[in-house]
Structure 1
Amino acid sequence: MSLTSRIKPISYLKANVAEVLTKLNEQREPLIITQNSEAKVVLQDVTSYEETQ
């Protein structure tokens, strides 16, 4: 998956929370959330997160 498809505005997250969570768990690729056109957070599934710890 390309980096640009993994960058979404916070409004997208708010409108599609269930879909985002499903995709995070299935694809195991982080999602970058922007606010006011700036990257603010990275969402990641728990398994991937635990692997990095």
Structure 2
Amino acid sequence: MSLAAQIKPISYLKSNAAEIIKDFATNPEPLIITQNGEAKMVVMDIHEYEKQQETMALLKLISIGRKEFEEGKYQEADAFFSEMDKE
């Protein structure tokens, strides 16, 4: 389904909420809700939302790791494993 078909006015959300929920079972694409012709919110399937949140968390961890690496806040693998063997 095209992105344009997934943009609906707030009146559509108000009158079709149950149908929108049912449709997520077959089409999990987010639904953009407009008010006065302007995008105001996104309605999405909970499973898609959870996947998106997991992806964002992983990207944040990668970003933190990259920053720490650039700042020299890392340990060589051999030294790390030697430390782990001592414990």
Work out whether the TM-score is over 0.5: yes
Determine which structure has the larger helix proportion and give its number: 2
* Structure 2 counterpart of 1:15: 15
Structure 2 segments unaligned to the other structure (5+ residues)? 54-87
1:1-53 CA distance string (max 9 Å, x none): 10110000000111111001111233111000000100000111010000011
Structure 1 segments unaligned to the other structure (5+ residues)? none
Q: What TM-score comes out, normalization by structure 1 length?
A: 0.92
User: In structure 1, what is the Cα distance between the partners aligned to 2:12 and 2:34?
Assistant: 10
SS at match of 2:29: coil
Determine which structure has the larger strand proportion and give its number: 1
Q: Which protein has the larger Cα radius of gyration, Structure 1 or Structure 2?
A: 2
SS at match of 2:25: helix
Taking CA–CA contacts closer than 8 Å with sequence separation of 6 or more, which of the two structures ends up with the larger relative contact order? Answer: 1
User: In structure 2, what is the Cα distance between the partners aligned to 1:32 and 1:15?
Assistant: 15
Q: CA RMSD in A?
A: 0.8
Q: What TM-score comes out, normalization by structure 2 length?
A: 0.58
What is the count of residue pairs matched by the alignment? 53
How much identity, in percent, do the aligned residues show?
Answer: 57
1:44 maps onto 2:26 in alignment? no
| Maintained 8 Å contact 1:24/1:31 | no
